[in-house]
Amino acid sequence: MPNRHTIRIHDRQRQTVHTAQVPDDQYILHNLEEQGIELPFSCRNGACTTCAVRINRGQVAQPEAMGLSPEVRDRGYALLCVSYAQSDLEVETQDEDEVYELQFGRHFARGRVWFGLPLDDD
């Protein structure tokens, strides 16, 4: 039988707070949706940062979170779509651009990146 943990989520975009019990053997986002709690998401497979949260207290396992670098995970971020609760949690949703900047900002800080050949301005 799975352990259950209490999760408290501050949804910054909607200015709401949700509290729920989640089992440690199901993805957090999926279980919250089954309970009627709607949070931001997009890909559902750990590749983007739409469902990113900052962990203020507690721990998760997120072995499939390919959308977050180890450095960003170490700074306390998680993707709810591929995270399992390992303890009681307090988290807050993040603006996707904030997380994206943490993840990739150092690569784009030097100016615009061109993919392929520059366009002709004729």
Kindly list the structural domains of the chain, giving each domain's residue range(s) and its CATH number in brackets, ordered by start: 4-95 (3.10.20.30)
Q: What percent of the chain has pLDDT over 70?
A: 86
Q: What is the DSSP code (8-state) at residue 61?
A: E
Express each pLDDT in 16-29 by its tens digit. 999 999 999 999 99
Q: How far is CA 76 from CA 17, 23, 29, 114, in A?
A: 19, 21, 17, 32
Q: Is the pLDDT of residue 109 over 80?
A: no
| DSSP-derived 3-state class of residue 45 | coil
